[in-house]
Structure 1
Amino acid sequence: MSNRNLNLYGGLNQKIDYVFKVVLIGDSAVGKSQLLARFARNEFSIDSKATIGVEFQTRTLIIDTKTVKAQIWDTAGQERYRAVTSAYYRGAVGAMLVYDITKRQTFDHVSRWLEELRSHADNNMIIMLIGNKSDLGSLRAVSIEDAKEFAEREGLFFLETSALEALNVEIAFLTILTDIYRVVTKKTLVANDEADAATGSNLLNAKQILLPGQTQTTAGPNFGCCMSS
């Protein structure tokens, strides 16, 4: 049984407990749309065209008995769309910063993308660095060591993936979504305890959509900073 089949989906009429917005950012042609298609529909298209502006897809899954709707936004990497896509960072609680391991320039631009992300999005969002196209190892231009060093310095998760071969794609998305979930539920429980102590009320059922500023970034207990294939 594949990893995909092991991840339980929420039914069409099932109550959604949480909605998490995650953005995919990085240079054009690094494979952001393919990563999204692989995660959302388990598809890969050789003839995929560049994203125009912003698109998003959703996938509903179960995390720790709760139904979580992942809203994944795919942002265009072309310079002319930067002003448009920056507005879509608002409300995101997670980001996957993607580069192509065969194109050094896409990795060199990662710091610029990270700076833009942090200037437009909530400072406490959870961020993962993704080195895509790991199936093209013979053409590698970015070493795993360089990527790990950058991720550790910036406090990011790191993982290499292959959208073509569906390698580590599921793990990447589930890692970031699970970490978001753990931070959110921990924060919610603390808030509820404080509210209960003050008013005797319970706000847990009202918590469905995570908004910026409601998390504090901490790594989940089962995930380290950096992982590679």
Structure 2
Amino acid sequence: MKNYNYLFKYIIVGSTSVGKSCLLLQYVEQKFRNAYQVTMGVEFGTNLIKSNGHVIKLYIWDTAGQESFSSMIRSYYRNAIGCILVFDLTDRKSFESLVKWYNEVLSCTGNDIQIIIVGNKSDLQNNREVQEREALDLAKRFNGKYVEASALTGSNVTQIFETLTEQILQEIQSGKIDPQNEIYGIKIGDFEKRRNSEFVPKTQRQSVQVSYPIQSQKWECC
């Protein structure tokens, strides 16, 4: 049973050591990984989320930030409808690299992918090297949203995925994204199929009256 309205595929992208895997682990399992582990290729997580009266199933792919994996992870970008671009608030270079990551994602997915930028490690305010205004301006350039979060404390982690999901649903409801078009990679679940069937108008029988014109006949006498 596909007990959801839609299935969205998300990718988490950014430089190495910005906390992509920790954000995913915090969101899916509410845990924090103390020991740093380099992602070898990709990691995967899934979750259900309720948004605007819809049940959305999320497939979330966390991609490696090392250049050595770049050719492999590009294949995971395809059919993604949402992209979470992550940088480290205490590392300016990771912020400056977002333009490169953004262009790479667009080259593999297309302009319709929805973007949210995440400034991770918001718990380290005294060490921050990127101001909120800068990140907001970049998000505007990417036609996306911006959230500051902490994978350590869990602050705003859920908000990342809720905001991105709401953004996509708004695009669907406005008609800008067609969930039935395969290029978006969206899967339609049983809840949505059932909901759509309830709105299909039933064919109503209508009685039709047909009037035939009466033609006068002229009789001739023999």
Common fold by TM > 0.5: yes
What's the counterpart of residue 119 of structure 2?
131
Larger CA Rg, structure 1 vs 2: 2
What's the counterpart of residue 27 of structure 1?
15
Question: How far did residue 214 of structure 1 move?
Answer: 8.3
SS of the residue corresponding to residue 59 of structure 2 reads strand
Question: How far did residue 187 of structure 1 move?
Answer: 2.7
CA distance in 2, matches of 1:57, 1:28: 19
Cα pair 1:19 1:68 within 8 Å, conserved: yes
CA distance in 1, matches of 2:182, 2:44: 18
- TM-score when normalising by structure 1: 0.75
SS of the residue corresponding to residue 134 of structure 1 reads coil
What's the counterpart of residue 120 of structure 1?
108
Within the candidate set 183, 187, 192, 1:212 is matched to: 183
CA distance in 1, matches of 2:44, 2:181: 17
What's the counterpart of residue 147 of structure 2?
159
Over 3 Å counting, the alpha-carbon distance change for 1:81 and 1:14 in structure 2 is: closer
**Number of residue equivalences:** 186
Question: How far did residue 45 of structure 1 move?
Answer: 1.1
For structure 2, the 5+ residue unaligned runs are 187-222
Over 3 Å counting, the alpha-carbon distance change for 1:61 and 1:100 in structure 2 is: same
CA distance in 1, matches of 2:47, 2:155: 18
Q: Considering only aligned residues, what root-mean-square deviation do their CA atoms show, in Å?
A: 2.2
CA distance in 2, matches of 1:62, 1:153: 28
What's the counterpart of residue 148 of structure 1?
136
CA distance in 1, matches of 2:73, 2:62: 9
Question: How far did residue 65 of structure 1 move?
Answer: 3.0
CA distance in 2, matches of 1:138, 1:48: 22
- TM-score when normalising by structure 2: 0.77
The correspondence of residues 192-211 of structure 1 with structure 2, limited to 5 A, is 211=182
Cα pair 1:22 1:96 within 8 Å, conserved: yes
CA distance in 2, matches of 1:116, 1:16: 31
Counterpart residue type for residue 212 of structure 1? I
CA distance in 1, matches of 2:137, 2:72: 31
SS of the residue corresponding to residue 182 of structure 1 reads helix
Counterpart residue type for residue 158 of structure 2? E
What's the counterpart of residue 33 of structure 2?
45
CA distance in 2, matches of 1:74, 1:175: 18
What's the counterpart of residue 4 of structure 2?
16
Within the candidate set 164, 188, 192, 1:176 is matched to: 164
Counterpart residue type for residue 168 of structure 1? N
Cα pair 1:93 1:210 within 8 Å, conserved: no
Question: How far did residue 144 of structure 1 move?
Answer: 1.2
Over 3 Å counting, the alpha-carbon distance change for 1:174 and 1:211 in structure 2 is: farther
Greater helix fraction, Structure 1 or Structure 2: 1
CA distance in 2, matches of 1:24, 1:53: 12
Cα pair 2:122 2:150 within 8 Å, conserved: yes
Question: How far did residue 180 of structure 1 move?
Answer: 1.1
Counterpart residue type for residue 105 of structure 2? L
For structure 1, the 5+ residue unaligned runs are 1-12, 192-206, 216-229
After TM superposition, the structure 1 stretch with the greater mean CA deviation from structure 2, 22-31 or 139-148, is 139-148
CA distance in 2, matches of 1:187, 1:41: 34
Counterpart residue type for residue 120 of structure 2? N
The percentage of counterpart residues that share the same residue type is 33
